[in-house]
Amino acid sequence: MAVAKQTSSRRTRSEPLVPAVSAEPPCPRPAPGPQDLVDYWLDVGQRTILFLDALRQRAENIVAHERAGKPPLLDFDFEVVAEARCFERPTNYSLLKITRVGEDCLEDCLQPGLPPVVVFDPRAGHGPGIGGFKRESEVGLALQAGHPTYFVSFAPEPVAGQTLHDVLRTLRRFLEEVGRRHPGEPPVLYGNCQAGWAITMLAADCQGLVGTAVLNGSPLSYWAGEPGVNPMRTGAGFTGGMWTAHLLSDLGDGRFDGAWLVQNFEALKPEGVWSKYADLFERVRTERERFLDFERWWNGFYVLGREEILAITENLFVGNRLEQGLVRLCQHCNVDLRRIRNPLV
């Protein structure tokens, strides 16, 4: 009997639980009355006012940022340790060292023996800041872990005539400066978007890199993927490839407005632009500050030189030469991904 009872209990436990069906029918939802209609339109009106006020504040933030000279949007104190405008082949880049986190001096947070971290911010239409404009960013996480942290920034306007090769040489000079300050400790490199493929080109040139490189959202092959899915690829086929970069650079007197690149990002996923404003309208009381913080960076447009945007378009987006090992940095060196020896994440 004991065995029978135990078997029965096991069988009972293995049977799926069936929710009890209520004998009473569910209460019908009352039809909306005049007061519900008043409450609805009152809520819509209040949300609309708060939504438009957030857009007004965004515009004021953009104007204030431009009047201030578009400084890097970092939530950390820093000092300039290398200025590429002073190099033999000048560029508009600078190397920053993070010195303070809020009220804490950086030296109080560092742990001895940890390698330095260098965060490369993408120069793809926006200004510098996405890697460090809040405490939960890549800069903030590196500091929390106790690493000496550096940030590669850039000015709104390029130096006249600077090329992609000049920029890569500048980045290598920055890494040499970090290595001089931290001998025997290969730095950990973080690169988002454009900065990621720039780091990859450094790792794949004739000198190479030492140390781990982390690439976030950095495409290295531009013809891969399912055909007919990517809207930008289809659009480029209709518009004809590189001539638009030539035309816009000519209209800008040798300057390519980064706002065009930002527009391309939004064209990749148009529904994302709608969702951004829809989410703000739906949760305007709680999402306002987050929206304004992000838009302050998203709408800070920077400029590229004609030589840079044409080299990027020809070698990467249209030519796909990075994957093929055909990007020529100088007369004696091509970028070859098979040459990479340092770890990539």
Q: What is the mean pLDDT of residues 65-91?
A: 91
In a domain, 247, yes or no: yes
Percent of the chain with pLDDT over 90: 44
pLDDT at site 162: 93
Rounded to an integer, the average pLDDT of 36-64 is 95
Cα dist from 210 to 116, 198, 344, whole Å: 13, 15, 11
* 63 inside domain: no
Residue 6 is predicted with a pLDDT of 45
Per-residue pLDDT tens for 112-133?
889 999 999 889 898 888 877 6
Q: Is residue 214 part of a domain?
A: yes
Task: Write down the pTM of the prediction.
Answer: 0.83
31 within domain boundaries: no
- Whole-number pLDDT of residue 8: 45
Residue type, 191: G
Structural domain including 145 reads: 71-339
Summarize pLDDT for 233-257 with one digit per residue, the tens: 677 777 777 888 899 999 999 999 9
Task: Report whether 163 contacts 308 (CB < 8 A).
Answer: yes
Domain of 323, CATH number, reads: 3.40.50
pLDDT the model gives residue 325: 85
Distance from C-alpha of 266 to C-alpha of 190, rounded to nearest angstrom: 24
Query: Is 64 contained in some domain?
Result: no
- For 285-297, b where at least 16 C-beta lie within 10 A, e where not — what string? eeebeebbeebbb
22, part of any domain: no
Q: Is residue 6 part of a domain?
A: no
> What's the pLDDT tens digit per position in 174-213?
999 999 999 988 999 999 888 889 999 998 887 878 788 9
Which range in 52-56, 67-71, 106-110 is most confidently predicted, on average pLDDT?
A: 52-56
pLDDT for residue 16 is more than 60: no
pLDDT of residue 11 exceeding 70, the answer is no
Q: Measured between alpha carbons, how far is 271 from 268 in angstroms, rounded to an integer?
A: 9
Q: What is the mean pLDDT of residues 42-58?
A: 96
Mean pLDDT of the chain: 85
Q: How confident is the model at residue 5 (pLDDT cuts 50, 70, 90)?
A: very low
Confidence of residue 339 (pLDDT cuts 50, 70, 90): confident
Query: Using one digit for the tens of pLDDT, what is the confidence trace for 306-319?
Result: 999 999 988 888 88
Residue 329 has pLDDT above 60, yes or no: yes
Q: CB-side exposure of 154: number of CA atoms within 13 Å?
A: 29
Query: Domain count of the chain?
Result: 1
pLDDT above 70 as % of the chain:
86
Please name the residues in contact with 77: beta carbons below 8 A apart, sequence gap of 6 or more. Answer: 98, 99, 100, 101
Q: Is residue 28 part of a domain?
A: no
What integer pLDDT is reported at residue 290 of this predicted model?
A: 92
Q: How far apart are CA 272 and CA 163, in angstroms?
A: 33
